[in-house]
A and B are shown apart, each in its own frame.
Chain A
């Protein structure tokens, strides 16, 4: 894999920011889009735009084929058994909320438990807080090891026969940790609980096989994996989805509508009320084609190499504190850090003046920030278009930041 050649396929990366070539290190927030994805969306609006599943006319067929074709691409991408198990949503947040609002509220009651971890993104915390409030179930947290990883012994100790739902992220958006989902799912199933996986940071970077993981639900977003914003996926096992009620009601999702009663379409459409996100799905399909052509294993290896290099280079900066595991083993391309007394916002502003884009703040993971005893942190996240040179620039930028602020302190 040649990251420099891949970079050329992303028009946005070919620009100067504040007088410097852009170094984009915020793919954990959202990835950039290759020309193939931009053109697929443009082509759809240019030639094929129409509503799906209803038009008898030619454009309606083209739009439907594009939309449903994207569903098949997603199915293959995560190795699901059938396209009935692939629901298009607005993103990871909507996907997890759908499981919470439909499955959880119908199946949980007082005395039941929901188990999540300290490293979850807010979108995998708050939906469960709401379920707990409404059903009387208890929300429990898996503790973290000192290096931010989850120990299976803690998983075994936390999950009980009262646990009905276990929901854990595949990759932490702060620590970069890759969690042992397959093992956690096994423990969850031994206790009769279902396993929900937040794959927002996993799907863009790792090969996912939902059958091998044996997860019951898996959620991810298109925009973090080279696709457009506004499109995401909820995978669910067919027998679970079949017994769930839709969350949104209206057009598109109905079978028959009477004056006082209605019935729903079969899977997956009963969960897709309203005109769907057609262009988004087609763009996501193009993103999957793009990623698969390069190869997810290649992408994973590249990011792993970048993470190892970043851990090494950033450690050279005086006053650097890196969070999460100290080595690149089981780490995705995310490195979160703080630089001495310099607040991460100030770090990000100084780096921006050098054309380097990083994230600063709580990363939508306030419980984890509390666990780390930090009010905010800085994060550099890498993707297939990043190079070691980007990390060299980041390191140089951080040394300059340190010097800049040491003058004033």
Chain B
């Protein structure tokens, strides 16, 4: 592998999200808070979600981690806004499949998220990419059980 192959991992759009994270911060009021960390490496994320009428009205994240985990969090918050819970969870499943290098449902426009596809070639970094998505799924599940 040469440095050129690294470009499949560190795509421009990923670095842009890392440098200029979207939806960075904490939602106040009656938002749903999820904390999750990757115990093997110390990455952590705090995700706050605001759900209205079964849809994600707003989403923000705070955290510490590498370019992959933080850019993935930025992209995830961007992607789920306006989506229903089911759509958000489905997106997370698609993302998992993409990370595992499996065929995934490409009818859905993934937008920036598509840039993370290269992570599947770096097995040690898949957990970085999926952290924010796991947090989001956990939040949705908790919301279900709280009802």
Contact = CB atoms under 8 A, between A and B. Distances in A.
A248 B67 CA distance: 45
A353 B3 contact: yes
Contacts of B68: 345-346
Contacts, number: 60
Report the contact-size class of chain B (Cβ under 8 Å from the partner): 20 to 34
B15 A369 contact: no
A248 to B, nearest CB: 27
A18 B1 contact: yes
B41 A376 contact: yes
Contacts of A18: 1
A408 interface: yes
Given A408-B12, A408-B19, A409-B19, A366 B6 contact: no
A62 B3 CA distance: 52
Nearest to B38: A361
Nearest to A377: B42
A375 B5 CA distance: 27
B146 interface: no
A353 B1 contact: yes
Contact of B65 (A369, A375, A409): A375
B11 to A, nearest CB: 9
A404 interface: yes
Contact of A404 (B1, B6, B41, B122): B6
B42 A349 contact: no
B17 to A, nearest CB: 11
Nearest to A350: B6
Contacts of B15: 408-409
Contact of B125 (A349, A362, A408): A349
A33 to B, nearest CB: 22
Nearest to A343: B66
B6 A361 contact: no
B9 A362 contact: no
Contacts of B67: 343, 345-346
Contacts of B10: 346, 404, 408
B105 interface: no
Contacts of A346: 10, 66-68
A336 to B, nearest CB: 13
Given A19-B1, A350-B6, A375-B42, A345 B64 contact: no
Contact of A375 (B40, B64, B122, B125): B64
B98 interface: no
Interface string A313-355: 0000000000000000000000000000001111001101100
Contact size class for A? 20 to 34
Given A376-B41, A376-B42, A343 B65 contact: yes
Most A CB contacts (10 A, CB to CB) among B3, B19, B122 go to: B3
Contact of B41 (A19, A361, A408): A361
Interface in B30-60: 40-44
Nearest to A18: B1
Nearest to A409: B19
A306 interface: no
A349 B122 contact: yes
Contacts of B122: 349
A142 to B, nearest CB: 23
A409 B10 CA distance: 12
Interface in A27-53: none
Interface in B1-33: 1-3, 5-6, 9-10, 12, 15, 19
Nearest to A374: B42
Nearest to B128: A345
B108 interface: no
A189 B108 CA distance: 68
A7 interface: no
Interface string A374-409: 011000000000000000000000001000100011
A97 to B, nearest CB: 19
A77 B113 CA distance: 55
Interface of B: 1-3, 5-6, 9-10, 12, 15, 19, 40-44, 64-69, 122, 124-125, 128
Please provide the 8 A-B residue pairs with the shortest distance between their CB atoms, ordered closest to farther. Answer: A345-B66, A18-B1, A408-B15, A343-B66, A362-B42, A361-B41, A375-B64, A376-B42
8 contacts: A18-B1, A344-B66, A361-B40, A361-B41, A375-B43, A375-B64, A376-B64, A409-B15
Interface of A: 18-19, 343-346, 349-350, 352-353, 360-362, 366, 369, 375-376, 400, 404, 408-409
